[in-house]
Amino acid sequence: MKQPVYSVVIPAYNEQEVIRETYMRLTDVMQKMSETYELIFVNDGSKDQTAYIIAEFCEKDPAVRLINFTRNFGHMSAISAGMEHARGQAIFVIDADLQDPPEVFPIMAEKWKEGYHVVYGKRLQRKGESVFKRLSAKLFYKFIRRMTSVDLPPDTGEFRLIDRQVCDVVNKLPEKNRYIRGLVSWVGFKQVPVEYVREARFAGKTKYPLRKMFLFAMDAITSFSYKPLKLATFAGFLISFVSFLYILYVIYEYFFTDRTVAGWASTIAAILFTQGIVLMILGLMGEYIGRIYTELQNRPNYIIQEIIEKDND
């Protein structure tokens, strides 16, 4: 197949309710752009009919390719697989749920033609999300910008256009725990935002509940910063200093006053507090050690069961 101008990477997990609409809207947008293109759907171990529906697209449309994983390897792995198999000069990344509108692609493409290597979507509004979700997302971006050394733009996701050169550089990065938007920001190059309104899901349920969002945040922080370890060290010194002052106070009361030294309540409270800090620090260290363990295992980020595409011969 001749190298297309554009590749569109679409990770999908249990999206049978929306995947036909996704295909139609993507096809409509890409055909209007009047350039050669390919749609790369990455089925991340879906348990519904997602893979079968996409396979139908492949039978009738030579622009569609389907990468089937052997199981669910995660959103970042699915995007990585799509980027590694993309053949275009510019690569769009978009989720299958249609919260990020493909109609923004032409604007991104114009920015790319102006010389920008990365054009990322910046959310002006997030429809269909609870107040808690919007607030937690805002706090997450503020927190991660303070905790990491990488300039991560706020209110952005994986929705973006990536130049071929940037894609090749990111694909060569060896780490296993891949936080794609962080890696794309880390490599540099000329980057510019395009603002848009994020819609509510067209159908189906979110694949990022609170638990996954928390784990995602931990991945982001531990991938690009060791500041949490510095904070843990600072907390340890601070608690030790406060404890030392408290010991001096207890000694003073014992020898120079008639007051009885506080008993079990204050002692147990102090012990529980300090032990809680110790356990938190040990857990934090465990996160980093776990990442080292994963890197040393050197297992692949994903395993492909099959790649389906229409034979053009």
CA distance 89 to 163: 6
Cβ neighbours around 222 below 10 Å, total: 20
The residue that leads in pLDDT, 4 or 155, is 4
Q: What is the pLDDT of residue 292?
A: 73
Residues contacting residue 58 through CB under 8 Å, at least 6 positions apart = 64, 65, 66, 308, 309, 310
Torsion angle of the four alpha carbons 83, 87, 90, 96, in this order, in degrees rounded to the nearest 10 = -50
Q: What is the pLDDT of residue 77?
A: 87
pLDDT bucket at 153, cuts 50 / 70 / 90 = confident
Ranked by mean pLDDT, the top range of 108-112, 173-177, 188-192 is 108-112
Q: What is the pLDDT of residue 313?
A: 46
How confident is the model over 67-90, as a mean pLDDT? Answer: 89
Q: What is the pLDDT of residue 196?
A: 84
The answer to whether the pTM exceeds 0.85 is no
Bridge pairing between strands 304-309 and 64-69: antiparallel
pLDDT at 35 over 50: yes
pLDDT bucket at 164, cuts 50 / 70 / 90 = very high
pLDDT at 86 over 80: yes
pLDDT at 38 over 80: yes
* Eight-state DSSP code of residue 304: E
Q: Could you tell me the end-to-end alpha-carbon distance of the chain, in angstroms, rounded to an integer?
A: 9
